[in-house]
Chains A and B, each alone.
Chain A
């Protein structure tokens, strides 16, 4: 007799077992382990989204801070891959949207009511923040988002290779192009700007003496200087002295560390990894001026924490943001300086951060102070994409810069009209 025909396994008993399992499942769903945290928190469950940082230990650090918070259970979704923005924006339209998330200041997020006003959290400590960060998060007098870190981006270079080629750190774009040529050998390319060149778009605009938008929120990038810069970038792109198609992109220090290039555009976050590999054979410089009317520039990227205004736990999320990114200075310093190097947006923390006070990190802070350009909240994703298309069309594809900028103007103009009327 087969086991299946045993009376113990009658149809009725099977139905009973299935019903029992269904009931148990239902009860389990009522418990705390529903994928949105549970455990240490006594009340609310919060979900926060972070993109995957490249520096080792960052994910553990964010989760450690969250675990230390006692007033809510905070679950971290650490989103790997290059499409953090897509996942974030898509999820913000659903019931599974995060309660808080990191991103860059974007007017579109404010206009569409997706981010909560955090003025009341920041106002008491407003004077302790880098004022440029406060400005870049302010719309109509209200502050949306708390800056967590400032990330200056500039060139890192091997001093020994420049010495060997008999050249100084370039101060103009023409000198940079010449340097790339002199530094290129059969095994090492002179320069790496990232695989799609997008990281140097804004620096090129600023170094040409222009800006993305002016104070009246009108187009400020379409200038003769920028056109000249685009032509020079095309010359560089086709010179054979630019590292293209590297396995890792500009944000990863491996191109310079593995000897694939002599100069690499990257962020200060990677400075510890560069120093670990190259020791003292490392120098930094800003993006050089494009024209005589221009000025060297440093892009101050970085990440800010926002609260989902359409979330179910807005108040609890704001309390968490205040606890971690306003009150917990120890965690803020740890986050800024223990993994990669970032500049803390809080002046008091930046001044006391010993790791940033000497050597190359101090030079980075100096470049940040002297040449830094911060995010413009009115410069939205659609505008960013439009300028990326300019680079794709005329620098990488060889199109006419004027025509590419005209196309960009139409997109940005339509966007500005929608945002500002």
Chain B
């Protein structure tokens, strides 16, 4: 006779039923949570980004000097003024020259540093820190050190002391546009400040490359060094390189601090933001013309970004799927 028994088997515990207030359905809770968590950022975005942009576009059509609530409508006069202002158009040229040099140079320097630090066996953390630490320094502080200690034009400036050992006369690094030594000062300051940060990004990417790839390449006869770097490392860093170049370009567009602090009221070596600062927020306080310049600059950035996206193939991966 077969018997079935439940002895020894634990019966499922009865569900604990408690009386609670009726709750809103999951969808309602989710919607509430969505607004709870996004609304502060949304409000911040509207108040600090969209309204100022809209206000700036509004100001660009008015004679708005020493006021942000103007009444004198001038149509496209401010745009005409900015587009015929050689200082503003020159600033776009300055930016182009600056970006054309600083983006590839920083990319190469930070990648080079990452490759060097990645291979270290001793004091790896020390060297990583040494190269990364300048990132923590403010652009203003670095600019002042560059201007007052290293590249001042008198005999006790560091750079002039060094070239003095070779019998070269003092150089006014920042006062004279011919020859344009000021570029050396600006570019070295920015390289020193930002290469460490991008080195860390490359370092992370380097450590994500599967070791098997190198082993397979070695079995296939690839020589270590340039061949391996060109055919394995560099392609594997493509995504990081794209991100780094994009970030560098954005940073170049935002260049302000070192130009403003190193070059005092020149008509050369002004990137667009410094030019707009002098127009709108400096002594002139011409918010109308400054806003028109900002709108022109924004449109330019949009065009360049779209163009860059097309070249670098953003979204191509999605389309292929």
Q: How far is the CB of A109 from chain B (nearest CB, A)?
A: 8
Q: How far is the CB of B51 from chain A (nearest CB, A)?
A: 16
B175 touches A396 (CB 8 A): yes
Give per-residue flags for A384-419: 1 if the beta carbon is below 8 A from chain B beta carbons, else 0: 110011001100111000000001000000000010
Q: Is the interface of B mostly helix, strand, loop or mixed?
A: loop
Give per-residue flags for A188-204: 1 if the beta carbon is below 8 A from chain B beta carbons, else 0: 00000001101000000
Q: How many residues of A contact B (CB 8 A)?
A: 37
Residue ID in chain A nearest B153 by CB atoms: A245
CB of B267 closer than 8 Å to a CB of A: yes
Chain B residues lying within 8 Å of A82, measured Cβ to Cβ, are: 264
A114 touches B175 (CB 8 A): no
B282 touches A195 (CB 8 A): no
Residue ID in chain B nearest A197 by CB atoms: B175
Chain A residues lying within 8 Å of B281, measured Cβ to Cβ, are: 86, 90
B153 touches A385 (CB 8 A): no
Chain B residues lying within 8 Å of A92, measured Cβ to Cβ, are: 66
Give per-residue flags for A226-269: 1 if the beta carbon is below 8 A from chain B beta carbons, else 0: 00000000000100100111110000000000001000000000
CB of A93 closer than 8 Å to a CB of B: yes
Chain A residues lying within 8 Å of B264, measured Cβ to Cβ, are: 82, 195-196
Give per-residue flags for B141-173: 1 if the beta carbon is below 8 A from chain A beta carbons, else 0: 000000010011111000000000000010011
**Which of the residues A83, A244, A389, A398 comes within 8 Å of B175, measured between beta carbons?**
A244
Give per-residue flags for B261-282: 1 if the beta carbon is below 8 A from chain A beta carbons, else 0: 0001111100000000010011
**Which of the residues A86, A237, A260 comes within 8 Å of B283, measured between beta carbons?**
A86
Chain B residues lying within 8 Å of A187, measured Cβ to Cβ, are: 155
B148 touches A93 (CB 8 A): no
Q: How far is the CB of B85 from chain A (nearest CB, A)?
A: 9
CB of A13 closer than 8 Å to a CB of B: no
CB of A8 closer than 8 Å to a CB of B: no
Chain A residues lying within 8 Å of B177, measured Cβ to Cβ, are: 396-397
Q: How many residues of B contact A (CB 8 A)?
A: 33
B282 touches A85 (CB 8 A): yes
Chain B residues lying within 8 Å of A195, measured Cβ to Cβ, are: 175, 264
Residue ID in chain B nearest A390 by CB atoms: B267
Residue ID in chain A nearest B66 by CB atoms: A112
CB of A108 closer than 8 Å to a CB of B: yes
Q: How far is the CB of A383 from chain B (nearest CB, A)?
A: 10
Chain B residues lying within 8 Å of A260, measured Cβ to Cβ, are: 154-155
Given contacts A244-B175, A244-B176, A246-B154, contact A392 B265 (CB under 8 A): yes
Q: How far is the CB of B42 from chain A (nearest CB, A)?
A: 25
A396 touches B68 (CB 8 A): no
A-B contact list, 15 entries, CB within 8 Å: A86-B282, A93-B67, A108-B66, A109-B66, A112-B65, A196-B175, A198-B265, A245-B153, A245-B172, A260-B155, A385-B278, A392-B265, A396-B177, A396-B266, A397-B268
A-B interface, 5 closest residue pairs, ranked by CB to CB distance from nearest: A245-B153, A244-B172, A244-B175, A381-B283, A392-B267
